[in-house]
């Protein structure tokens, strides 16, 4: 099943599931998801459905593909973010040009299932042949340190 892009509903905070460079301890967390930037860590989580998590080879950018049922239950973190913080994330992710936002169910570490926004690569506007790519269940700090090219990774 293919998901439809999601808009926010005007709440004061929106829960966002992050799976790559925005996780705590990774390059973009410090720039976008600290508490003084309007973000509050909620919990570690994983997607209820399986999705392909791919690490782009040129700059080491991790991204999800909107192909439910393919790949793995992806591990990540949930943050509650303010509208201003969400706008910053939209800018980082190139939404809606390079990535779309979707509302998906995620299971928190305590077993609760919640809906959270997630960014997935927009293959219509940023096509790629992903069928022969490796699918990951987690974008680890080891992968991040090995492949991510900060600054150059604006657009893969």
User: For residue range 114-138, what is the model confidence (pLDDT) as tens digits?
Assistant: 999 999 998 888 788 888 899 999 9
Domains of the chain: 14-147 (3.10.490.10)
* Owner of token pair 């989580």: 45
Q: What angle do CA 8, 46, 89 make, to 5 degrees?
A: 35
Residue 156 CA to residue 24 CA, distance in Å, equals 22
Catalytic status, residue 93: yes
Task: Band the pLDDT of 91: cuts 50, 70, 90.
Answer: very high
The counts of H helices and E strands in the chain are 3, 7
Out of 56, 75, 77, 93, which one is annotated catalytic?
93
For 5, phi then psi, to 5°, come to: -55, 150
Q: If you average pLDDT over every residue of the chain, what do you get?
A: 90
Pairing of strands 53-55, 72-81: unpaired
Asked if 99 and 3 count as a contact pair (C-beta separation under 8 A), the reply is no
């Amino acid at each position: 099943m293919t998901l439809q892009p999601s808009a926010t509903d005007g709440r004061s905070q929106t829960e966002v599931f992050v799976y790559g460079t925005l996780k705590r301890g990774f390059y973009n967390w410090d720039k976008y998801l600290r508490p003084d930037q309007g973000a509050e860590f909620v919990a570690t989580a994983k997607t209820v459905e399986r999705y392909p998590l791919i690490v782009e080879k040129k700059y080491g950018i991790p991204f999800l593909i909107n192909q439910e049922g393919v790949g793995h239950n992806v591990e990540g973190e949930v943050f509650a973010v303010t509208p201003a913080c969400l706008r910053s994330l939209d800018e980082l992710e190139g939404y809606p040009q390079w990535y779309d936002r979707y509302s998906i169910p995620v299971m928190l570490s305590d077993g609760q299932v919640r809906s959270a926004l997630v960014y997935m690569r927009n293959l219509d506007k940023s096509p790629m042949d992903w069928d022969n790519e490796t699918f990951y269940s987690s974008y680890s700090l080891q992968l991040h340190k090995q492949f991510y090219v900060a600054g150059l990774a604006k657009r893969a």
